[in-house]
């Protein structure tokens, strides 16, 4: 019998790809990411960083610090992507410019340009 998806075997390890989080065919973190807003996901990632740093001395030592590092790297990656998206859109401080608004003018000089009709 041929399966519809032929994925190469995955390599599991306790930090980057724990087997017990992939029993359903996808990583648990992927399902979590798909179910949350970007803001909620950042909170989740930050909470896991804090959790693993908090408990490392009493539970799993170096392994917990490596897990904290993994979540911190994910959080940083999400923030970098968000920052790049804002820069690409010309957004400043989360506020995107409106079409026709010039930022090189003083506030009293800012005007909205009339659209030019196609001829």
SS3 per-residue string spanning 49-105: HHHHHHHCCCCCCHHHHHHHHHHHHHHHHHHHHHHHHHHHCCCECCECCCCCECCCC
Break the chain into its structural domains and give their ranges.
10-119
Q: What is the DSSP letter of 25?
A: S
- The predicted structure's pLDDT at residue 117: 54
- Count each helix (H run) and each strand (E run) in the chain, helices first: 3, 0
- The predicted structure's pLDDT at residue 83: 86
51 and 42 Cβ atoms separated by less than 8 Å: no
Q: What is the DSSP letter of 112?
A: B
Q: CB-hemisphere CA count at 13 Å for 24?
A: 7
Comparing 19-28, 60-69, 85-94, 105-114, which segment has the lowest mean pLDDT?
A: 105-114
* Residue range 36-89, pLDDT digits in tens: 999 999 999 999 999 999 999 999 999 999 999 999 999 999 999 888 887 776
């Amino acid at each position: 019998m041929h399966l519809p998806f032929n994925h190469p075997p995955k390599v599991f390890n306790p930090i980057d790809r724990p087997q017990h989080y992939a029993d359903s065919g996808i990583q648990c973190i992927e399902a979590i990411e798909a179910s949350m807003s970007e803001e909620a996901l950042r909170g989740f990632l930050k909470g896991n960083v804090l959790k693993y740093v908090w408990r490392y001395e009493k539970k799993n030592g170096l392994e917990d610090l490596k897990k904290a590092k993994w979540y911190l790297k994910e959080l940083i990656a999400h923030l970098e992507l968000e920052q790049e998206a804002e820069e690409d859109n010309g957004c400043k401080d989360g506020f995107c410019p409106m079409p026709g608004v010039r930022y090189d003018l003083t506030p009293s000089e800012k005007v909205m340009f009339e659209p030019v009709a196609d001829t």
